[in-house]
C-alpha cells in the first residue's frame, strides 16, 4: 500500500474529489485511510447520555473523513463560540454551537486540530488555531478575527514525523507556545512557535518515540503534562518540558475495561478546581473520564452517546474536544465528538455515507456518571 501523501497527490491529480459507494466495492482497492475501520453499532457500552445538538455532516461522502474537533469561546462574551473540525480529505470546517456550518477552509487533508486563545506572546495572534497537515508533513496555522469571527490561513510550519497524524498544542510555564506532532508510527516532534517577518516559525526542541501507531494527544498547561494515546497499547502521561525526555507513566494500559482499542481522541475539561481527561474508546464507542489535577489520575467512569433528542447515537468514536465553564447555552461546559456514521438505522453492512460531530452538555455527563 502506497503512503498517504503519494496516494493523495495522485487522487487530486486525477480530480477524483468524490468516490461513489459502488466504487468502494468494484474499483481498485482504496488507501486504508479512506475507509473507516471502526465498528458500527447501535450505540456504545458506556453510561448513556444524549447529544444536545449535532453539526451538519462533512461534505466528503462515502469515505472516512470527519476526524477531530476543537472548541473556542470568547472570554469576553460566552455567547460567541465556534467549533473547529477537520475533514481529513478536504480541509477545516467551522460551526456554530447549533451545528450550522459558518465557514470552510479548503486547505487539504487536516487530521487533528487544536487551539489556544488569550495568548500574550510577542508576534503571535491572540488566538492561534492549528491542524496537522497529512500531505505537507507539519502544521497548518490559522488566526481568528475576533471582530468578525472569520478564520483565515496564517502559515505552515514543517514538523517532521512519519505521517502528520495526531496534533496538540500548549503554553509552557515560561509562556511559549509549543506544538506536539504525533506521527502515525508513534514518532513525536515537539516545537516552539515563534514568528519571523510576520510568519510562523517552528524550532524543534524534542523528538522521541512512543512505540507503535499513535494519534490522540492533549497538553495540560496548568500541570505541564502531555498525554498521548498509543492506540493499541496504552494512554500515556509524559512531561511537556523537553528536559523530561522519554519518561512516562501509564494512565491506562490495554486490554482494559475502561478503554477498548483503538484509543483515539483525547481532551481536557476544567471545572473549577478540577481537571478532567476524556479519552475516546473507539472499540466500543465510549468515552472514559479521569480527574487529573492531582498527582494520580482518578477514574470517574465511562459514557456513550445514545440516540435521543432527534439525534442518532455516536458510534466509531474518533476525535473529541471539551471546554469547561459557560459555553453559549451550556453552563458548565460542552463536549464535542466525531460520529463515524451520521445516519439513523445503519447496520454493519451499510456503507457509511455521512459523518459529523455531536455536541453534548457536560452537565449531563456529570449527572450520568454521578461525579462530585
27 has pLDDT over 70: no
Spatial distance between the Cα atoms of 17 and 112, rounded to a whole number of angstroms: 21
**Cα dist from 266 to 167, 279, 354, whole Å:** 10, 5, 23
| Residue found under cell 507556545 | 177
Q: Do the beta carbons of residue 214 and residue 227 sit within 8 Å?
A: no
Q: Do the beta carbons of residue 13 and residue 268 sit within 8 Å?
A: no
Q: Write down all domains in the chain, each with its CATH number in brackets.
A: 4-369 (2.120.10.30)
Residue 215 in grid coordinates: 494519534
**Cα dist from 49 to 69, 95, 196, 316, whole Å:** 19, 22, 47, 16
pLDDT at 22: 33
pLDDT in tens, 208-262: 999 999 999 999 999 999 999 999 999 999 999 999 999 999 999 999 999 999 9
DSSP secondary structure letters along 115-156: EE-S---TTS-SSEEEEEETTTTEEEEEEEETTTTEEEEEEE
What is the reported pTM? 0.92
Spatial distance between the Cα atoms of 72 and 342, rounded to a whole number of angstroms: 23
Under the banding of pLDDT at 50, 70 and 90, the label for residue 360 is very high
Length reported for the chain: 372
Classify 106 as helix, strand or coil.
Answer: coil
pLDDT at 32: 63
Q: How distant is the alpha carbon of residue 356 from its chain centre?
A: 13
Amino acid at each position: 500500500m502506497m503512503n498517504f501523501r503519494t496516494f493523495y497527490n495522485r487522487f487530486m491529480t486525477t480530480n477524483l474529489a468524490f468516490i461513489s459507494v459502488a466504487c468502494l466495492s468494484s474499483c481498485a482497492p482504496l488507501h486504508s485511510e479512506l475507509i473507516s475501520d471502526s465498528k458500527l453499532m447501535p450505540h456504545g457500552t458506556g453510561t448513556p447520555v444524549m447529544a444536545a445538538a449535532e453539526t451538519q455532516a462533512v461534505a466528503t461522502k462515502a469515505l472516512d473523513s470527519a476526524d477531530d474537533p476543537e472548541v473556542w469561546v470568547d472570554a469576553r462574551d460566552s455567547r460567541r463560540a465556534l467549533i473547529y473540525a477537520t475533514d481529513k480529505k478536504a480541509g477545516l470546517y467551522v460551526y456554530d454551537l447549533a451545528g450550522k456550518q459558518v465557514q470552510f477552509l479548503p486547505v487539504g487533508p487536516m487530521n487533528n486540530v487544536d487551539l489556544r486563545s488569550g495568548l500574550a506572546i510577542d508576534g503571535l495572534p491572540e488566538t492561534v488555531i492549528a491542524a496537522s497537515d497529512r500531505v505537507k508533513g507539519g502544521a497548518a496555522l490559522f488566526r481568528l478575527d475576533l471582530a468578525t469571527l472569520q478564520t483565515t490561513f496564517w502559515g505552515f510550519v514543517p514538523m517532521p514525523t512519519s505521517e502528520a497524524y495526531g496534533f496538540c498544542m500548549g503554553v509552557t510555564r515560561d509562556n511559549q507556545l509549543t506544538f506536539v506532532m504525533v506521527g502515525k508510527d508513534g514518532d513525536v516532534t515537539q516545537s516552539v512557535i515563534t514568528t519571523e517577518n510576520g510568519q510562523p516559525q517552528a524550532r524543534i526542541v524534542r523528538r522521541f518515540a512512543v512505540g507503535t501507531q499513535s494519534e490522540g494527544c492533549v497538553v495540560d498547561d496548568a500541570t505541564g503534562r502531555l498525554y498521548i494515546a498509543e492506540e493499541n497499547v496504552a494512554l500515556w502521561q509524559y512531561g511537556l518540558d523537553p528536559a523530561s525526555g522519554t519518561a512516562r507513566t501509564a494512565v491506562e494500559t490495554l486490554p482494559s475495561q475502561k478503554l477498548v482499542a483503538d484509543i483515539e481522541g483525547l481532551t481536557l475539561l476544567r471545572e473549577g478546581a478540577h481537571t478532567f481527561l476524556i479519552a475516546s474508546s473507539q472499540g466500543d464507542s465510549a468515552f472514559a473520564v479521569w480527574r487529573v489535577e492531582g498527582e494520580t489520575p482518578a477514574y470517574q467512569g465511562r459514557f456513550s452517546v445514545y440516540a435521543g433528542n432527534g439525534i442518532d447515537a455516536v458510534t466509531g468514536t474518533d476525535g473529541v474536544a471539551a471546554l469547561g465553564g459557560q459555553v453559549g447555552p451550556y453552563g458548565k461546559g460542552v463536549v464535542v465528538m466525531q460520529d463515524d456514521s451520521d445516519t439513523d438505522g445503519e447496520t454493519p453492512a451499510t456503507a457509511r455515507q455521512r459523518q459529523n460531530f455531536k455536541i453534548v452538555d457536560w452537565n449531563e455527563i456529570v449527572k450520568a456518571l454521578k461525579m462530585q
